[in-house]
Amino acid sequence: MPAAPTLSPLRIGLAGLGNVGAGVVRLLADNADLIARRAGRPIVISAISARDRNRDRGLDLAPFAWVDDATELAGREDVDVVVELIGGSDGPALTLARRTLAAGKALVTANKAMIAHHGLALAAAAEAAGLPLRYEAAVAGGVPVIKALSEGMAANRIARVYGLLNGTCNYILTRMETERLGFATVLAEAQAAGYAEADPSFDIDGIDTAHKLSILAALAFGARIDFAGVATHGIRAVELADIDQARALGFRIKLVGLAEHEDGTLFQRVHPALVPLDHPLAAASGALNAVAAEGDFVGRLFFQGRGAGEGPTASAVVADLIDIARGSVGNPFGMPVAALAALPAAAIASRRGRYYLRLTVADRPGVLAELTAALRDHGVSIESLIQRGPAASGDAMVVMVTHVAGEPAVLAALAQMAGGDSVTSAPVMMHILDF
């Protein structure tokens, strides 16, 4: 029996040699035979580009052509697919992406910011040219949630997608709880250990999560990406007292990205939330990512794993390369860009739920009556109330959990409380995850 014909290798131009880029080099080398058998052809690196040619990365880069200007990878005749691992929503990464597609080459990226801001335009260019554009590594690292939404759940109407999409925030909140440390202490230690950037704003202010959530929402609901429509709140205001009170009430605080599709509208929010201890999200500790999606026929599916780092993210990049080597093209967002719906943002007036409220108040008679009167005036009832204090400052802490109420009413009650002279610092409100 004649041997099967040997297909030519899929040749890669790799831009970016940080942790993920180095991981891609190692993975393609270490698992070369397995990858070739699964892809139906070898996958090899032809050329690479990075900012520092002389940095010791612990890799043998001699077999690869070195390109100082990453955008030149798009024009090389020995490159079939460009892998963009530079990062950033604009600049060299976007220039490279555009030139790659214009040159008739496939593109793989781990760049969630670029996809969140420019994904629709890049997808339209890829579709027009009949080229693959893959970005599994852009959301949740090695967790294959992009493929799950675009392929595994393709027959379902998805009502809700939500989860923990930032490992740095999950790491900080986990350590605050388990080691009873304050936010500033854990953040400083995370920066020293390399878990958080020197400027951690993208992580702790929820922007990184918002980038990823807007991508998931587009895939889940067949919608146009609306990053600007994500209401974003980070974890800077979370105190150890909140961690303790949440635990006493049967919850764990997590930074949750939530997107819902209901009545033709799109709701997107990143916010610290109280998650019941028996919910799967509550069990995702440390730097893990976790995503849940709810389909009308399949029900709730749950995905958990390492959302960042050399190995998991490189695994997602190479999985995309294997799909391309097999000849898969598809639409980057599961359907043509022209078919994606421009969903209006859901009005906050429609939001209902239970809420955790924390207030710092003057320790004097009548304060509790003032607080409860503000809630009564706006039709919000209290499920539980805890008072702690006074602290060294002379102020007391009051924690309340509401019954189900309209969010505008809760916000109005908080504004009324804050307008008086009994509340001595800005009130804190967190949502309770009840699904």
| Residues belonging to the active site | 212
Interatomic CA distance for residues 111 and 133, integer angstroms: 12
Pairing of strands 10-15, 43-49: parallel
Neighbours of 302 (CB within 10 A): 13
Q: How far is CA 354 from the centre of its chain?
A: 24
Residue linked to tokens 């919000």: 380
User: Cα dist. 335→89, 151, 158, 227 in Å?
Assistant: 23, 11, 15, 19
Strands (E), 165-250: 231-232
Q: Which residues contact 151 (CB under 8 A, 6 or more apart)?
A: 334
d(CA 215, CA 320) in angstroms, rounded, equals 17
In whole angstroms, give the CA distance from residue 310 to residue 25.
10
Gap between the Cα atoms of 182 and 137, Å rounded: 32
Q: Kindly list the distances between the CA atom of residue 102 and the CA atoms of 105, 117, 131, 193, in Å, as whole numbers in the listed order.
A: 8, 19, 10, 41
Instruction: For residue 60, give Cα distances in angstroms to 15, 22, 25, 63, 248.
Output: 16, 10, 9, 7, 53
Which residues lie below 8 Å from residue 332, measured CB to CB, with a gap of 6+? 119, 122, 123, 126, 127, 133, 134, 135
